[in-house]
Amino acid sequence: MPTVAHEFPSLRVFDHPLVQHKLTIVRDRRTSPADFRRLLNEIAGLMTYEVSRRFDTRAVAVETPLEVTEGRQLSRPVTLVPILRAGLSMTDGVMQLFPEARVGHIGIRRDEATHRPVFYYAKFPHDVRDGYAIVIDPMLATGGSACAAIRHLKDVGCRDIQMICLVAAPEGARRVHAEHPDVMVYACALDRELDANAYIRPGLGDAGDRVFGTVEG
């Protein structure tokens, strides 16, 4: 079970030993892009068990080899919404565990001068508003991209939204709670702070660069 971050009522932090073990390897600057990608997907899969705990189910009849019995199935569709590009790195891990999920995409980049989010793309299933939406992004830094993504989903009618990330900064967690207190955020760690360049400290570097091997130097 994730723990409650008391200063941030809508934030849940995973303290599971296996999650923390994998997160430590992800933080290591020596971890290769291939291992980084693999670990992000493994962590995302582990997080999905808890994120899906509150999904509604309905009773269905199922015929076993011996008799008919009652089972349970999800009663509403689930849409994963990775924030491009780094959010893609965690989506496969969720879908390996939950292949029934659909995938929407939302493109938001950070203006490096202003640190403000710049929206450039969105594509969702036509009935995204009828089910659950899970926003996926490895980093919750200033909270600008997360809040913009959540706002866009609400604008198209979504009312049941959650978010998963690897690491969160206090500034980002505070902003998401202030703007969207109805959205639960799940993270593997609540890190110390943002630096002057709006990077999470201690963090794990630029997740997109590390996933796709575009780190300079």
Residues with active-site annotation: 110, 114, 206, 209
Strand partners, 167: 139, 189
Q: How far apart are CA 23 and CA 48, in angstroms?
A: 15
Kindly list the distances between the CA atom of residue 1 and the CA atoms of 16, 67, 87, 134, in Å, as whole numbers in the listed order: 7, 35, 23, 18
3-state DSSP percent of the chain in helix, strand and coil, to 5: 35, 30, 35
Asked whether the beta carbons of 173 and 5 are under 8 A apart, the reply is yes
**Cβ neighbours for 148, distance < 8 A, ≥ 6 positions apart:** 108, 117, 119
Please give the structure tokens belonging to residue 10: 């809508």
C-alpha 78/C-alpha 30 separation (Å) is 35
Dihedral sign for Cα 196, 179, 163, 5, please: positive
